[in-house]
Amino acid sequence: MSKTATQKWSDKVQADWVVTAKKRGGLFISKLSLYTVLISLSFVFLYPLLFIVSQSLMMSTDVSDSTVQWIPQSLSFSNYLDAFLALGGAQSRTYWDAFMYSGIISFGSAALQVFSCALAGYAFGRYRFPGYTLFLSLVLFAFLVPPQTIIVPLFQLFSDFGWINTFYPFIVPSLTGHGLKGALFVLIFIQFFHRLPFVLEEAARIDGASAFRTYWTIMLPLARPAMLVVFLFSVVWHWNDVFEPNLYLRVPNYYNLSQTLAIFNGVGSAQIDAATAGLNAAQTIGVAPTMMNKIMAAAMLSILPMLVLYLFTQRYFVESVERAGIAGE
């Protein structure tokens, strides 16, 4: 009895480091299934991008041709030219004007949010003060309040200031650590500063640096991973946001990319509706001058800046989330 037990034990020990043929086969199969799952999931994630690219390069005849699924019969780059002009959203505006508006809103707000959310995060992460718990729960509260609840007074406030159709409704809340997902960014900074060792600060303070100098020259440079993750996320979320620009930029001359894209889409569906009025679904095939290819070209143009940004900063997006400790504990 005891002998068989010993036998089994030694078998197990051997099996851990001797790679038998059977084990290698099992390893191969598990590797194969792992990569199969990963690659097929990757397809799902790449699907929107592939869809946009493939549609945007098609001629109208290919879009309505049901035999053409992915690969266009002939490439057509003219969609991009049309989309480039249409994304201006108004006469005498092109893609570049809307692009500038999107860029100023997203990069400006992102830079300001990094600055202000780091300040607030530092206060919570490094100090204990009366009202700490109260204010911390206010941060959490601000994180959880849906923007839907406060749009009416907020819009009123900004129009009282005369800020409609300007950048101020984006810039000023960002400057104070609010704005789009501001509370989340404060929470990220709190987590990050909380984990830094206290010795660094003490050394600086003993050497006579003021609180702000310590913060600016020692703690903030250390917070680079957190700053990077906040900046990148803020840029991307502001770029993709449709809600706030729709609220505060109300004249076509001030529209940003996400707005002009939506308008272009509206024009496209209106044309399709007009062409197919009174026809049933089967009859519409091939009749409507579909604008899907042009709309997809516009979609591609509006996400292209973010794609380029992502291409160069992909590593930081993924790594900095780990280092900045979004997850916290």
Please list every residue from 205 through 224 that binds another protein, using CB under 8 A. Answer: 211, 215
129 contributes a contact to another protein by CB under 8 A: yes
CB of 74 to another protein, least distance (A): 21
CA-CA-CA-CA torsion sign (159, 164, 167, 173) = positive
265 contributes a contact to another protein by CB under 8 A: yes
> Residue 9 is inside which H or E element, if any?
helix 2-17
SS3 of 277, please?
A: coil
Task: Specify the stretch interacting with another protein by CB under 8 A; choose among 3-11, 20-28, 276-284, 295-303.
Answer: 295-303
> Distance from CA of residue 275 to its chain's centroid?
36
151 contributes a contact to another protein by CB under 8 A: yes
329 contributes a contact to another protein by CB under 8 A: yes
User: What's the rounded Cα separation, in Å, for the pair 110 and 104?
Assistant: 10
Complex with another protein: residue 41 or 285, whichever CB lies closer: 41
User: What's the rounded Cα separation, in Å, for the pair 81 and 208?
Assistant: 61
Binding another protein (rule: CB under 8 A), the pick from 91, 92, 148, 280 is: 148
Cα angle: 232, vertex 237, 241; to 5 degrees: 155
Task: Specify the stretch interacting with another protein by CB under 8 A; choose among 2-10, 21-29, 80-88, 121-129.
Answer: 121-129
Task: Specify the stretch interacting with another protein by CB under 8 A; choose among 1-9, 17-25, 75-83, 156-164.
Answer: 156-164
Closest CA to 116 of 169, 176, 179, 170: 176
Binding another protein (rule: CB under 8 A), the pick from 218, 262, 271, 276 is: 262
CB of 96 to another protein, least distance (A): 18
Binding another protein (rule: CB under 8 A), the pick from 28, 96, 127, 216 is: 127
Binding another protein (rule: CB under 8 A), the pick from 68, 154, 218, 222 is: 154
59 to 118, contacts with another protein by CB under 8 A?
Answer: 116-117
User: What's the rounded Cα separation, in Å, for the pair 119 and 115?
Assistant: 7
SS3 of 177, please?
A: coil
Binding another protein (rule: CB under 8 A), the pick from 25, 286, 289, 328 is: 328
Cα angle: 262, vertex 266, 272; to 5 degrees: 145
Complex with another protein: residue 81 or 138, whichever CB lies closer: 138
Binding another protein (rule: CB under 8 A), the pick from 84, 168, 310, 316 is: 310
Q: Which tokens in the block code for residue 94?
A: 């092109």
- Name the residue type at position 309: L
Cα angle: 120, vertex 123, 128; to 5 degrees: 145
User: What's the rounded Cα separation, in Å, for the pair 47 and 318?
Assistant: 20
Contacts with 102 (C-beta within 8 Å, 6 or more apart), sequence order: 239, 256, 257, 258, 302, 305
CB of 122 to another protein, least distance (A): 5
Complex with another protein: residue 93 or 123, whichever CB lies closer: 123
CA-CA-CA-CA torsion sign (69, 73, 75, 78) = negative
Closest CA to 121 of 143, 104, 105, 106: 143
Q: Which tokens in the block code for residue 35?
A: 């990569």
CB of 290 to another protein, least distance (A): 10
Write the binding mask 168 to 207 for another protein: x where contact by CB under 8 A, - elsewhere. -----x-xxxxxxxx-x-x---------------------
258 contributes a contact to another protein by CB under 8 A: yes
Binding another protein (rule: CB under 8 A), the pick from 261, 288, 291, 297 is: 261
28 to 67, contacts with another protein by CB under 8 A?
Answer: 34, 37-38, 41-42, 44-49, 51-52, 55
Q: Tokens 């504990």 — which residue?
A: 329
